[in-house]
Amino acid sequence: MEAAAARFLPVRLLFLLLLVLAGIASGKTVKRDGWRVVYSWVGDDPCGHGDLPPWSGVTCSQQGDYRVVTELEVYAVSIVGPFPTAVTNLLDLKRLDLHNNKLTGPISPQIGRLKHLRILNLRWNKLQDVLPPEIGELKKLTHLYLSFNNFKGEIPVELANLPELRYLYLHENRFTGRIPPELGTLRNLRHLDVGNNHLIGTLRDLIGNGNGFPSLRNLYLNNNDLTGVLPDQIANLTNLEILYLDNNNFIGRIPEGLYKHPFLKELYIEGNQFRPGSKSKGTHKVLELPDADILV
């Protein structure tokens, strides 16, 4: 019986992240950066001390006489429970990757404390509720991965306050309302994926006169409730390479400028009400896998 319990214990505790600040008795890691994972993190210092190595998934850097945690990557280990608000005490964090776990509940508004964060990856969890506008305070953020969760409500316009943002993944959630056209002011945004939600509005609402989204290469709007015609100005997205419009309620014709676009490689329009003879372009790619690597 004890042997069976020992085998079962790791199932419950091996993947349970106790993100509770730990008091540090020794070592020179800043005290706010002390953490514990019961299954593999040994010692009181996440950056390692003496003969003890750094904790698995933890990267540190030296700042003067102290070391600080700059990266926390604990993914695909079935962590269960609410979003760990305690991570927001890691004020020097540049990368937070907890993807492919079983986190629930909302993202804490205290996420806005992580002023140095560049990569936030929480995809493939069970997170829910609305996105806190405080995400817009992460001015150094370049990659935001929130896909495959249960977020609801409107996409916060505060995301347009992230001047360094390059990749924005919001697909496979329950977002409603319109896509904020203010996202077009993000001069570094290359990839925008809001597919498989419940978004409304028109493409004209999003792109206006086509002067926005100067760096956008990939735009995924598929499987929503978008309506209206495709404005000719969409061809003004001069760097566009991939455009998914399938399974919405678009009508009318496909602007000729899209078919003549010098860089557009993939255009998908099925599942709409376009004029007969309108054709897609390219071949659908394989769905993103939960353990796919992040390309920085």
Summarised one tens digit per residue, pLDDT across range 54-69 is 888 899 998 888 888 9
Q: Which of 62-66, 84-88, 147-151, 246-250 has the lowest mean pLDDT?
A: 62-66
Residues 166-193, mean pLDDT to the nearest whole number:
98
Angle, alpha carbons 289-241-123 (nearest 5°)? 25
The tens digit of pLDDT for each residue in 6-37 reads 222 222 332 333 333 222 223 345 544 444 44
Looking at residue 30, which CATH number applies to its domain?
Answer: 3.80.10.10
Q: Are the beta carbons of 240 and 261 closer than 8 angstroms?
A: yes
Residue 294 lies in a domain: no
Residue 281 lies in a domain: no
Domain total of the chain: 1
How far is the C-alpha of 87 from the C-alpha of 70, rounded, in Å? Answer: 11
Q: Are strands 66-73 and 58-63 parallel, antiparallel or unpaired?
A: antiparallel
How far is the C-alpha of 201 from the C-alpha of 213, rounded, in Å? Answer: 18
Residue 223 lies in a domain: yes
Task: Categorize the per-residue pLDDT at 40 as very low, low, confident or very high, splitting at 50, 70 and 90.
Answer: low
Q: Is 52 exposed, middle or buried (0-12, 13-18, 19+ CB in 10 A)?
A: middle
pTM for the full predicted model: 0.85
Please state the φ and ψ torsions of residue 113, each to the nearest 5 degrees. Answer: -75, -20
Name the percent of the chain lying above pLDDT 70. Answer: 81
Residue 2 lies in a domain: no
The total of other beta-carbon atoms located within 10 Å of residue 167's CB is 20
Residue 288 lies in a domain: no
Residues 36-62, mean pLDDT to the nearest whole number:
75
How far is the C-alpha of 235 from the C-alpha of 219, rounded, in Å? Answer: 13
